[in-house]
Amino acid sequence: MPLFGNRRQRHREELSYIGRKFSSQAGVEESIANFRAAITQQLGSEPEFFTAEWTGPDPAPVMVIGAAPGGTAQAVRSATASYLALWTDGGMYFVAPDYAVRPTPPLVGMWKMRDASLTSTGSVEAGEFGVGVR
Give the number of C-alpha atoms closer than 13 A to the C-alpha of residue 94, restricted to the C-beta side: 28
* CATH number of domain containing 24: 3.30.160.110
Q: Is 12 inside a domain boundary?
A: no
Query: What whole-number distance in Å separates Cα of residue 110 and Cα of residue 94?
Result: 14
Q: Is 110 exposed, middle or buried (0-12, 13-18, 19+ CB in 10 A)?
A: middle
Total domains in the chain come to 1
Q: Is 84 inside a domain boundary?
A: yes
Q: In this structure, are strands 63-68 and 17-23 parallel, antiparallel, or unpaired?
A: unpaired
Q: Is 58 inside a domain boundary?
A: yes
Query: What whole-number distance in Å separates Cα of residue 59 and Cα of residue 88?
Result: 11
Domain of residue 73: give its range. Answer: 17-133
The tens-digit pLDDT sequence of the chain (134 residues) is 444 444 454 444 566 899 999 999 999 999 999 999 999 998 888 899 999 999 999 999 999 999 998 877 776 777 789 999 999 999 999 999 888 877 778 889 999 999 999 999 999 999 999 998 66
